[in-house]
């Protein structure tokens, strides 16, 4: 048999599409994609046959199906779906940071159809997008005005560009940071078209350094909160109040990038983080923070400030490029209403998770352990530490409890949990899997036990 003759065993695209295995895939992945995977797998099979590897028709079909299945698995691993977060990291950037409050989810659902995003239903007149939510944000923080954009990174770019284009922005060397994912402040300055005027040293920058840097060229002073690392020891830098005191006589704004956006005092839980209100009270001209960190809302960048500054920011041509969509506004409006209602501790998932006491988490662990029908897992309830995460409040942790699962095949079990529906994500450390239940909602407890049973059984 010549090599060309050996190609007769190759299945056709239609034959592969008719297989039961392919049909299952078609429930989850679009037909066009599956068809392309099949074509590519047949091509690979052809190359393999031509290289002299013998196969019968059945083996060729299995060869193709195996490759297509691998492609669909990898694809579905990225298909967005509900995940049970058992990592104990409250704001897990890879898991979408803050989970939304029920009321925020509800409001998104309603806004998903037509919604009055730029229409006042009472007057019948056009309104400014996000007008109500900015009023609520001012009510909550004491700020004069506000504007909302896609995220805090967009807020930083927009504010620098709108207020200080081609001018110098003064920043302490101790704050010239990488925020994450390669987002480095010097690059942001360059992209926004402002000049970096770095002052002081890594550990100490004085008010006098700022005063000396102020000139006709100054466009702003920016303070960037160290959200994802700590500086301890021989360190000093001026407060916002002090910075404002030296800029008052000039028309130069003090921009406070606080990043994490803490609304309520969290010191009762051992978490020390300045609140948004403190920055407003200290007199910062413009304040920036993320909506999906400690605020507990959707991804967005919230900009607070004096009426004049906010007007100038709104007028920037960049504003249109970073404006938020109706779904974000819906979730943010609902979340802000909760903060104002006095119900935040109960209704904002992030705050609920922060305030959970270790004993209740331990009993939740026990419930899951008791619900296991399998004896094939080596499982115990152990103390562990939860992290806030999401580049917020570094170096702080919360006492928690988790399920520690060990034994052979722990990586396989972890994979099975991850690829289950819903997915369960834990923390692999050394030879065991830790499921920290601080981040698992009460209503997910039963499902978690069921997923553990299912994953253990197929081991």
237 contacts ligand PLP (rule: CB under 6 A):
no
Q: How far is the CB of 9 from ligand PLP (least distance, A)?
A: 53
Do residues 89 and 389 make contact, with C-beta atoms less than 8 angstroms apart? yes
Question: How near is the Cβ of 202 to ligand PLP at its closest, in Å?
Answer: 17
Smallest separation (angstroms) from ligand PLP to the CB of 157: 10
Q: How far is the CB of 142 from ligand PLP (least distance, A)?
A: 21
Residues 257-316 binding ligand PLP (CB under 6 A) are 257, 259-260, 290, 301
92 binds ligand PLP (CB under 6 A): no
Give the single-character DSSP code of 237. Answer: -
Q: Where are the alpha helices (DSSP H) in 77-145?
A: 102-111, 131-141
Nearest to 12 by CA among 28, 35, 33, 31: 35
Query: How near is the Cβ of 293 to ligand PLP at its closest, in Å?
Result: 6
Looking at the Cβ atoms of 202 and 380, the one nearer to ligand PLP is 202
152 binds ligand PLP (CB under 6 A): yes
Member of 64, 163, 224, 433 binding ligand PLP (CB under 6 A): 224
Axis crossing angle, helix 445-457 with helix 358-370, rounded to the nearest 10: 40
> Least distance to ligand PLP from the beta carbon of 387, Å?
15
**Pairing between β-strand 183-184 and β-strand 423-425 as defined by DSSP bridges:** unpaired
Instruction: Please select the residue that binds ligand PLP; options are 86, 100, 111, 153, rule is CB under 6 A.
Output: 153
Copy the structure tokens of residue 370.
């008791």
- Least Å from the CB of residue 179 to ligand PLP: 5
Name which of 304 and 405 has its Cβ closer to ligand PLP.
304
319 vs 372, beta carbon nearer ligand PLP: 319
| Residue 343 CA from chain centroid, whole number | 23
State the SS3 of 7-75. Answer: HHHCCCHHHHHHCHHHHHHHHHCCHHHHHHHHHHHHHHHHHHHHCCCCCCHHHHHHHHHHHHHHHHHHH
Closest contact distance (angstroms) between CB of 26 and ligand PLP is: 37
Q: How many residues bind ligand PLP (CB under 6 A)?
A: 13
Residue 420 in tokens:
């289950």
Closest-approach residue to ligand PLP (CB) = 259
Output 290 or 364, the one with its CB closest to ligand PLP.
Answer: 290
Least distance to ligand PLP from the beta carbon of 253, Å? Answer: 17
Which of 376-380's residues contact partners 24+ apart within 8 Å by CB, and which partners?
A: 376/456, 376/457, 376/459, 377/405, 377/407, 377/413, 377/452, 377/456, 378/405, 378/406, 378/407, 379/403, 379/404, 379/405, 380/404
Taking the complex as a whole, the smallest distance from the CB of residue 256 to ligand PLP amounts, in Å, to: 10
The C-alpha atoms of residue 67 and residue 38 are separated, in whole angstroms, by 8
Asked whether position 227 contacts ligand PLP by CB under 6 A, the answer is yes
Contact call for residue 151 and ligand PLP (CB under 6 A): yes
* Partners of residue 378 on adjacent β-strands: 406
For the bound state, the minimum distance from the C-beta of residue 181 to ligand PLP, rounded and expressed in Å, comes to 8
Nearer to ligand PLP, 181 or 317 (CB): 181
Q: Which stretch binds ligand PLP (CB under 6 A): 135-143, 220-228, 306-314, 446-454?
A: 220-228
CA 67/CA 39 separation, integer angstroms? 11
Which of these ranges, 67-75, 82-90, 151-159, 194-202, lies near ligand PLP under the rule CB under 6 A? 151-159
User: Could you say which residues in the range 374-403 bind ligand PLP, by CB under 6 A?
Assistant: 391
Query: 172-191 mask for ligand PLP (x: CB under 6 A)?
Result: -------x------------
Residues 41 and 63: their CA atoms lie apart, in Å, by 8
Q: Which is nearer to ligand PLP, 141 or 260 (CB)?
A: 260
For residue 360, what are its two tokens?
């209740």
Closest-CA residue to 225 (of 395, 393, 397, 396): 393
Cα–Cα nearest to 55, from 65, 66, 46 = 46
Q: Which stretch binds ligand PLP (CB under 6 A): 106-114, 221-229, 243-251, 412-420?
A: 221-229
Please identify, using beta-carbon distances, which residue of 151 and 336 lies nearer to ligand PLP: 151
Separation between Cα atoms, residue 289 and residue 151, nearest integer Å: 8
Sites of contact with ligand PLP (CB under 6 A): 151-153, 179, 224-225, 227, 257, 259-260, 290, 301, 391
């Amino acid at each position: 048999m010549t090599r060309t003759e050996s190609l007769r065993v190759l299945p056709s695209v239609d034959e592969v599409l008719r297989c039961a295995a392919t049909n299952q895939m078609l429930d989850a992945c679009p037909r066009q994609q599956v068809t392309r995977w099949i074509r590519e797998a047949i091509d690979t099979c052809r190359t393999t046959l031509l290289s002299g590897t013998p196969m019968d028709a059945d083996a060729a079909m299995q060869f193709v199906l195996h490759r297509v299945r691998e492609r669909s698995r990898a694809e579905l691993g990225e298909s967005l779906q509900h995940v049970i977060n058992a990592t104990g990291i409250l704001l897990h950037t890879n898991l979408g940071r803050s989970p939304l409050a029920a009321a925020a989810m509800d409001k998104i659902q309603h806004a998903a159809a037509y919604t009055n995003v730029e229409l006042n239903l009472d007057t019948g007149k056009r309104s400014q997008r996000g007008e109500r939510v900015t009023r609520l944000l001012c009510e909550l923080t004491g700020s004069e005005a506000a504007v909302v954009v896609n995220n805090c990174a967009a807020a930083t770019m927009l504010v620098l560009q709108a207020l200080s284009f081609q001018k110098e922005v003064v920043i302490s060397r101790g704050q010239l940071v990488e925020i994450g994912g390669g987002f480095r402040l010097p690059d942001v300055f360059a992209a926004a078209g402002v000049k970096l005027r770095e002052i002081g040293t890594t550990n100490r920058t004085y008010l006098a350094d700022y005063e000396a840097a102020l000139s006709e060229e100054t466009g702003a002073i920016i303070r960037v909160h160290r959200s994802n690392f700590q500086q301890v020891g021989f360190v000093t830098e001026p407060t916002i109040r002090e910075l404002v005191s030296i800029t008052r006589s000039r028309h130069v704004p003090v921009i406070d990038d606080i990043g994490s956006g803490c609304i309520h005092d969290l010191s009762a839980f051992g978490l020390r983080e300045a609140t948004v209100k403190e920055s407003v009270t200290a007199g910062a001209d413009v304040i920036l923070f993320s909506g999906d960190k400690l605020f507990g809302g959707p991804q967005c960048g919230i900009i607070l400030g004096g009426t004049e500054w906010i007007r100038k920011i709104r007028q920037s041509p960049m504003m249109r490029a970073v404006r938020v969509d109706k779904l974000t506004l819906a979730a943010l409006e609902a979340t802000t209403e909760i903060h104002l209602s006095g119900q935040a501790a109960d209704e904002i998932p992030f705050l609920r998770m922060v305030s959970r006491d270790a004993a209740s988490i331990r009993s939740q662990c026990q419930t899951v352990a008791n619900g296991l029908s399998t004896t094939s897992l080596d499982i115990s309830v152990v103390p562990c530490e939860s992290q806030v995460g999401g580049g917020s409040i570094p170096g702080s942790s919360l006492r928690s409890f988790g399920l520690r699962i060990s034994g052979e095949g722990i990586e396989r079990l972890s994979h099975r949990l991850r690829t289950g529906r819903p997915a369960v994500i834990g923390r692999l450390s050394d030879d065991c899997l830790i499921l920290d239940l601080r981040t698992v909602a009460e209503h997910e407890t039963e499902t978690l036990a069921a997923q553990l049973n299912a994953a253990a059984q197929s081991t």
